[in-house]
Amino acid sequence: MSQQLAHTEIKKNNNGALLIGTGLVVASMILVPALATRLGLGASLTGALRIALMKASSRAVSSATDVSKAA
């Protein structure tokens, strides 16, 4: 019974990380270029912001995967 509860808890943690990762991807692909255009930011700064958000998204999802492998 405790193994089933632990497995359910891991799934909840993975779902949260995937939600955060997906939100960061949407922000980097849609919101950042739109806001950068509106604010008049250069292409290099926009690209740097997108890369930073994509890396954060990757870390959020991969850390959740590492937690589920540890259990």
The token pair at 44 is 């290099």
Q: What share of the chain is helix, strand, coil (3-state, %, to 5)?
A: 95, 0, 5
Task: Count Cα neighbours of 14 within 13 Å in the Cβ-side half-sphere.
Answer: 13
Predicted confidence at residue 16, as pLDDT, reads 79
Is the pTM above the cut of 0.75?
A: no
Q: Coil, strand, or helix at residue 66?
A: helix
For residue 11, the model assigns a pLDDT of 58
| Upper half-sphere CA count for residue 11 (Cβ side, 13 Å) | 6
Q: What is the pLDDT of residue 66?
A: 61
pLDDT number for residue 24: 81
What pLDDT tens digit does each residue of the chain (71 aa) get? 555 555 555 556 677 778 888 888 888 888 888 989 999 999 999 999 889 988 988 888 887 666 555 55
